Structure 1
Amino acid sequence: MEKVRQNGFDWFKGCACIAVILIHYYFPNNIGIGIRTISRFAVPVFFMVSGYFMLSGEENVCDRARTIKKIKHIILILFTSAIFYFFFDIIRNLITHWGGEKAFMNIYVLQ
């Protein structure tokens, strides 16, 4: 059976990606509040599209093995990005503050 690409979902995901960027960007005054408020649709769209594709398949059933495989994949991505950004923040602070211990203390030690 040949898989058919569903372009509508790609369009929704593309708009949601742009909206996530807008959520994290600072816009001043009421314009920023409005943009962030409108952009809040992005996270639910990602959940809905992911849920749809978890259930889509030949049997249209969300079996246990497939779900566990997807959860492991998501956890791997989460930990990989967390480790990357941990070291990225340390290096960024060392470069920005060039204080060694001071740079590390600013983010990773509660005062």
Structure 2
Amino acid sequence: MEFFNFDVGKNRIYNVDWLKTIAILAVLLLHCSSKYLLPDFVFQPNWYCGVFFESLSRFGVPLFIMVSGFLILRKDQPISSVPRRIKRVLIPFIFWLVVYVIAKFAMIYHSFDLIQFGYFLIQAFLDPTIVSIEFWFVYMIIGLYIFSPIITTWLHNAEIYEIEYFLIVWALISFVG
């Protein structure tokens, strides 16, 4: 595997890089296929293809979450690192959310009203999916960053049977709920 060694660090885990690559391709396929799931295409050949490829690639987002969790939780996470991590996500998110709000506002309303724009902007911060469904992911990542010091400390100090117990309870609740 010398060909793939870009000497980016001694602690690099190439299997994680491959998992991220697979997740990226799956999410791209998910987004491409979702355009065929519109009501206009229902039960047409394009709709069936869209359903097939969307179902095939649905694992991409959970895979990203698992890889992120692996990378975050394998090292100690001091609480002092949380603001830095959140800032790295929040600044680009705010920028792009405002850009999307401006574009969506311009498409919906044909005249500019500052109060109406402010109300729409606040709504978008509370529920960013009104401007782009993909923005839900940012709030989930921020939540993971906030809880990572607590979870990391517990994982590094817990006995294996406690972790197994937690995973079993979590799996049962996930399947029932």
Q: Into which bin does the TM-score normalised by the smaller protein fall?
A: 0.5 to 0.7
SS in structure 1 opposite 2:80?
helix
CA RMSD of aligned residues (A): 2.9
1:75 to 54, 76, 90: 90
Structure 2, unpaired ranges of 5+: 1-8, 37-45, 121-177
Q: Please, which runs of 5 or more residues in structure 1 have no aligned partner?
A: 91-100
Query: How far apart, CA to CA, are the structure 2 residues paired with 1:10 and 1:54?
Result: 14
Amino acid at match of 1:15: I
CA-to-partner distance for each residue in 1:43-76, whole Å, 9 max, x for gaps? 11111111122123xxx32221123321221112
Task: With the length of structure 1 as denominator, give the TM-score of the two structures.
Answer: 0.65
Counterpart pick for 2:50 among 32, 42, 48: 32
What aligned pairs does 1:39-50 form with structure 2 within 5 A after superposition? 39-50=57-68
Aligned residues: 94
Q: TM-score scaled by structure 2?
A: 0.44
Q: Secondary structure at the match of 2:57?
A: helix
**C-alpha separation in 1, matches of 2:90 and 2:77:** 19
Question: Does residue 13 in structure 1 map to residue 20 in structure 2?
Answer: yes
Aligned pair in 2 of structure 1 residues 3, 21: CA closer, same or farther (>3 Å)?
Answer: same
Q: Is residue 54–residue 67 contact of structure 1 (8 Å, CA) maintained in 2? A: no
What is the Cα deviation at residue 22 of structure 1? 1.4
1:2-58 CA distances to partner (integer Å, 9 max, x unpaired)?
Answer: 6422111111111111211211113422221011112111111111111122123xx
Structure 1 pair 16/104, CA: closer, same or farther in 2 (3 Å)?
A: same
